[in-house]
Amino acid sequence: MRRLAVRTARAWELGCFGPCLARVIAPNGLTPMPAEKMPIAPEFPAKPEGATGVLVLDDGSVFWGHGVGADTAKTGEVCFNTSMTGYQEILTDPSYAGQIVSFTFPHIGNVGANMEDVEATTAATRGCVLGADITEPSNFRAASHFDGWLKANELPGVAGVDTRRLTRRVREKGAPNGVVCHAPDGKFDLPALWQQAVEWPGLEGMDLAIKVSCTQPYEWDQTRWTLEDGYGRLGPAKFRVVAIDFGVKRNILRCLATLGCAVTVLPATATAEEVLAKGPDGVFLSNGPGDPAATGDYAVPMIKGLLEAGVPVFGICLGHQMLALALGAKTAKMHLGHRGANHPIKDLTTGKVEITSQNHGFMVDKDSLPDGVEATHFSLFDGTLAGLRVTDKPVFSVQYHPEASPGPQDSHYLFQRFVDMMRSHGSDR
């Protein structure tokens, strides 16, 4: 498979991706772009012998390989993740909705798949790109082969890709739109795939939280996994938390339950009145996908109502961005985003540095924070804002994922901070 990547890279060097006359192919399920607005179509390279998978980008770049997973094609924003473990958690994280994930670590699938390491019932990602073929699973917890798991979740993928080259492309030019396609017969309509990538609207301005959120309220009492007992159950509850589901990861809910929180999960469209009617000791604003400005149309009024009520609030990822918008700050699309499990963050309140897991393509503009809101965390990679708090209210949030364990547990203190805040607020009342 590496030879496929080398041959494709050679085709690029020889100019086989040069421009030609524009052509318009109407893709399935998409509104065709007017011919006069279509970019000039590239001249596509010949398919290498044996290729059954391909990734086609909206700039005409083509990455050949061996198809894995479901026999289908899906369109999304192409990003890369630098994590060495946790591929099942990544592909089932609702925050990846609308995205094709390229893994920079080569050994993906080597521990197989199981039913415990998932963050949602269905995978919201669009597909995956791998540097090496999927190997046979070697782990005592493996219940199935990773390729079979991809098929079961209707996720297409392509393996044997030069992921270093793809990563450089994303880093230098930003996250492109792309189509990942697996065709066991090796037949590909590259012009049609390219046009699907070109016509996909992109994540900016897209409300995806509404697509991955629950539609009905539910209760959560499962606690964190241990080697001895697996997942546990909440005993006598100390606090009642309402979690707003913008695409919540299950392990976040487990972390809350482990600290004695009985959690009620409400849909993303819940109003402040509906939240407060549950009598919460605190409210959690979850992670999720898409553009916070789009989701904010219905979520910001709800959050403003919570702020006026004075209830403790803790936000993660999209919840952090939504809280910032409700406080009067601004958000923006990032050049390529942060996705990985090796991101150093400095907590300004303690001076400590923690190694974090991150997955976001939007950020809060640190220069837009209003009076009464202060920055608490910053990325040591690029200086972007990673946390904030309201100075006169029990309200705080972080951009990263403290429920993950890359440090391995550097950031779990944030859940305890939330619990302490609820305890203090309750005694004040």
* 147 backbone dihedrals φ, ψ, rounded to 5°: -60, -40
Residues 155, 127: contact at Cβ < 8 Å? Answer: yes
Q: Residue 232: in which H helix or E strand, if any?
A: none
The residue among 163, 159, 203, 195 whose CA lies nearest residue 179 is: 195
For residue 397, what are the β-bridge partners?
A: 315, 388
Q: Would you state the structure tokens that stand for residue 109, as one six-digit string? A: 């699938």
- What's the chain's length in residues? 429
Residue of 66, 360, 377, 401 marked catalytic: 401
The residue among 391, 386, 394, 348 whose CA lies nearest residue 371 is: 391
* Rounded Cα–Cα distance for residues 322 and 268 (Å): 11
Q: In what order do the strands lie in the sheet with 218-220?
A: 218-220, 261-267, 239-245, 282-285, 313-316, 395-398, 385-390, 373-379, 331-347, 353-364
* Rounded Cα–Cα distance for residues 65 and 92 (Å): 23
Instruction: Name the pairing type of β-strands 62-69 and 156-159.
Output: antiparallel
Could you check whether the bond before residue 408 is cis, i.e. omega within 30 degrees of 0? yes
Q: Is 317 a catalytic residue?
A: yes
Residue of 128, 317, 377, 412 marked catalytic: 317
Q: Is 401 a catalytic residue?
A: yes
Residues 314, 284: contact at Cβ < 8 Å? Answer: yes
Q: Is 403 a catalytic residue?
A: yes
**Which of 225-239 are b and which e, b meaning 16 or more Cβ less than 10 Å from the residue's Cβ?**
eeeeeeeeebeeeeb
**Which of 95-125 are b and which e, b meaning 16 or more Cβ less than 10 Å from the residue's Cβ?**
bbbbbbbbbbbeebbbbbbeeebbbbeebbb
Residue of 181, 199, 403, 412 marked catalytic: 403
Burial of residue 308 (number of CB atoms within 10 Å: 0-12, 13-18, 19+): exposed
For residue 263, what are the β-bridge partners?
A: 220, 241
What is the DSSP-derived secondary structure letter of residue 44?
Answer: P
Residues 150, 116: contact at Cβ < 8 Å? Answer: no
What residues are labeled active site?
A: 317, 401, 403
